[in-house]
Amino acid sequence: MRKAEITRKTAETAITCSLCLDGSGRNTIATGVGFLDHMLTLFAVHSRFDLDIACQGDTWVDDHHSVEDIGIVIGTCLTEALGNKAGICRYGSMWLPMDEALVLCALDLSGRCSLTMDVRFETEKIGTFDTQLIKEFFLGLTRACPMSLHFHELAGENSHHVAEAMFKGFGRALAQAASIDERLNGAVPSSKGVLA
């Protein structure tokens, strides 16, 4: 089983996370940030990764530290669970419709960090959640698990729907990229022989 478990503690957050790439989508999410709990549940269900995460953060300041650090921790678990990436498909993409919203997520587990977000949110908040923090989450994740990650919004009016399309699409695209391609016979999918 490709899995990882880590604990990260700073002056701002204390986070424990376990992740299994070869799971069923089972999850226990308790980040202290309600909207992020919802998004990570969607991510786990649509990726079919098993994900357990708990965070105690300084949310009395705001949600920024918790959201960014959770991205870092999930990215770190992904890096550990993927190992040297032998045999993986490497690329994944998904057009994800969510009611009126339509978002493309495409990624390459290249070992090089790049985040492109051509996404607009019509509101600054989704409930009490700051929509700017969605980018902070994915920045933290891609820095800890270097990949080329692209989001492009083709349609969308409701900020909640756009965010859902992003997290569901990311789960589906990442599941494709992390899946094993039996034709590779355990080889790393790169002409260089390494993904870094």
**Per-residue model confidence as pLDDT tens digits over 128-154:** 999 999 999 999 999 999 999 999 999
Nearest to 22 by CA among 42, 36, 4, 41: 4
Question: What per-residue confidence (pLDDT) applies to 190?
Answer: 74
Coil, helix or strand at residue 178:
helix
Please, what is the angle between helix 132-144 and helix 64-82, to 10°? 30
- Bridge partners (DSSP) of residue 82 are none
- For the cut 80, the answer to whether the pLDDT of residue 192 exceeds it is no
Return d(Cα 125, Cα 144) in angstroms, integer.
26
pLDDT digits (tens, 9 = 90+) for 69-110: 999 999 999 999 999 999 999 999 999 999 999 999 999 999
Mean of pLDDT values over 179-188: 87
- Bridge partners (DSSP) of residue 51 are 19, 27
What b/e string do you get for 96-125 counting C-beta neighbours within 10 Å, with b at 16 or more?
bebeebbbbbbbbbbbebebeeebebeeee
Torsion, CA 193, CA 138, CA 168, CA 174, rounded to 10: 10
Which domains are assigned to the chain?
Answer: 3-184 (3.30.230.40)
At residue 188 the predicted structure's pLDDT band, cuts being 50, 70 and 90, is confident
Return d(Cα 152, Cα 104) in angstroms, integer.
5
Question: What per-residue confidence (pLDDT) applies to 4?
Answer: 98
| Whole-structure pTM value | 0.96
